[in-house]
Amino acid sequence: MLMTKRLALATLALSFALAGCREMLTETPKNFITTDAYYRTPADIEAATLATYQPLGQADVWRRWLLWDTEMASDMTRINPDEPNFGTYHPGLLLWTPMDGSMTSPWNGLYTSIYRSNLVLENAPKVTFIDTKYQKQLIAEAKFVRAYDYLMLTKAYDDVPLLLTLDDHANTASKSRTPVEQIHQQLIKDLTEAEADLPDAPTQLGRASKAAAEILLADLYQWRSSFLKKPEWQETSTWAKKVIDNPRWGLTDDYLAQYLPANKGNKEVIFMNVSSGLDGRSSTDPNCNWLPRELGFNQAGGCEVVGQPTRWQYESYLCSTPDPLTFNASGRIADTTKIKTCDYRKQVTYRLGGCSTSASIGCIVFKWPNLNKFRPTNRGVGGPSDVDFPLYRYAEALLIYAEAQNELGNPAVAVGVLNQLRARARKGSGTALPEPHAYGTQPGEAIDVASVRSAVFQERNWELAHEGKRWFDQIRRNSLEPGYWKSTLVQHDPETATRGDVSEFRMRFPIPGPERTLNPNLTQNPGY
């Protein structure tokens, strides 16, 4: 948004595109070019379109700050006690300020992507394409990416400036915050248009398809229906059902399989940040965000900065025998076997020990459970990751549909959908856990909306664990059940409640201070 930054971003976007490389993961080259030699060919437009996706996998957004903000701020993740840097772990205490990188970085990253999208939307129609269908697809991709960016911005900050043209970007210093409703109506228009021109299957890993636009619309309507309390659950259901009914997509047989590098391009992950595993081309590194420092640091085997599951999260899964956290005299986990009797998703999502590449450390039992469902082939050390980070999965389409059907007064339909996910979890483990939901199976037992709502949110917790969803779920549910956000933080993440700030204004991110310094028309969110 800064004027100097805007010009720098323009140069970066242009140099990225004219590198002549079709690989979307290529890092921005250092050479500089001018717009006089740009946007003249279909290849230029294609490269510029690929550049719109890049910021989503960079440090400002899902590689670092937006992931750290949403994970640590939620009741799902606690600060790792070995993390020494307050500048890193402060989102876990909700102690961010308008000047913190944790708040300014997501804003800057998402607006970088918006600017690049607008470059495509303004220039693509001017270029002659032999393949006009592909031209429409590239325009549709730019609309999709811009819509994704704005949905994330409104989820985090509420009203933000709506910039739709290059002239808008050139005059950001005078732009005020656009009401969320106006932004969302633009997103609905863009996404319905994009859905018509996007391919059924992505033409490259990490690019948008029809299903990506459909689940983004379902996500948008879900947010509007819950957080904004709009009566749009039918629209939520309709768009989620489009994804569910498309034979191109479905659940993988094994929950873990969808995350493994060997299964890239599987039928479940609809939209993701792609990690190539090649030096200079890895656009996200989810595993390195979680590796415990006690394995050593960086190349020695660990680089953890995000945190660990809260005790509540870890013990919330269904187990055939109790699986509480117990510790020995040295402060490490005492029993490393009980996890094997739990919901398969718990078994593969967490681990209780691991091995370092440092011979002086070797294999150890951890002090706290460690996230383990993102598993690069190199174990996250000795080189870049090749694990993709999912932004939308088929399972989430099922969960959105289940929630919408329940809120529409059809809880039995919702329960049936939840049981599909539980059946997959049982198949993966070969055990009887988790058992199907059985509401209404006993004589006189009713299926009520409130009980099924709790079941849907809990299933989202298990199914979408550590994928950046829980923070927004807590905020959405707070609109449906006032007080939910604060009570869950106090009960489930006591460290935040005792050391941090659980004032309700912190459900919204502050408008970045540097933006307001340059643009006095940007008002601040209450409380900051």
CATH number, domain at 1?
A: 1.25.40.390
Residue 353 CA neighbour count, 13 Å, CB half: 13
C-alpha span between 355 and 337 (Å, rounded): 17
- Residue 330 located in a structural domain: yes
Q: Quote the pLDDT of residue 180.
A: 98
> Are 452 and 518 in the same domain?
no
**Structural domain containing residue 218:** 205-274+393-484
Helices 394-407 and 233-245: crossing angle, nearest 10°?
140
Whether residue 376 sits in one domain with residue 400:
no
Same domain, 98 and 175: yes
Are residues 270 and 218 both part of a single domain? yes
Q: Are 222 and 236 in contact (CB under 8 A)?
A: yes
Q: What is the pLDDT of residue 114?
A: 98
Of residues 449, 352, 442, the one with CA closest to residue 409: 449
Report strand pairing: 308-309 vs 350-355: unpaired
Tell me what pLDDT residue 56 has: 95
Strand partners, 353: 365
- Domain assignment of residue 286, yes or no: no
Q: How many domains does the chain have?
A: 3
Task: Give me the chain's average pLDDT, please.
Answer: 89
Residues 466 and 505 in one domain: no
Weakly modelled stretches of the chain, pLDDT under 70: 1-37, 279-284, 287, 298-301, 380-383, 440-445
Q: Which helix (H) or strand (E) holds 405?
A: helix 394-407
Residue 84, Cα to own-chain centre: how many angstroms? 25
Alpha-carbon dihedral angle through residues 370, 373, 376, 378, given to the nearest 10 degrees: 40
Note the pLDDT of residue 444.
64
Burial of 523 (0-12, 13-18, 19+ CB in 10 A): exposed
pLDDT at 292: 85
Give the model's pLDDT for residue 338.
83
> What b-and-e string marks burial along 290-303, b requiring 16 or more CB atoms within 10 Å of the CB?
bbbbbbbbeebbbb
Same domain, 116 and 27: yes
93 and 38 share one domain: yes
Give the H/E segment covering residue 153. helix 132-157
**Last residue in a domain, options 387, 402, 426:** 387
Rg (CA), the chain: 23
Do residues 100 and 217 share a domain? no
| 435 and 368 both lie in a single domain | no
Q: Are residues 266 and 176 in the same domain?
A: no
pLDDT at position 358: 79
269: helix, strand or coil:
strand
Residue 145 resides in a domain: yes
319 lies in the same domain as 347: yes
CA 459 vs CA 151, 284, 510: distances in Å:
23, 26, 30
End position of a domain, from candidates 369, 387, 405: 387
Residues 95 and 240 in one domain: no
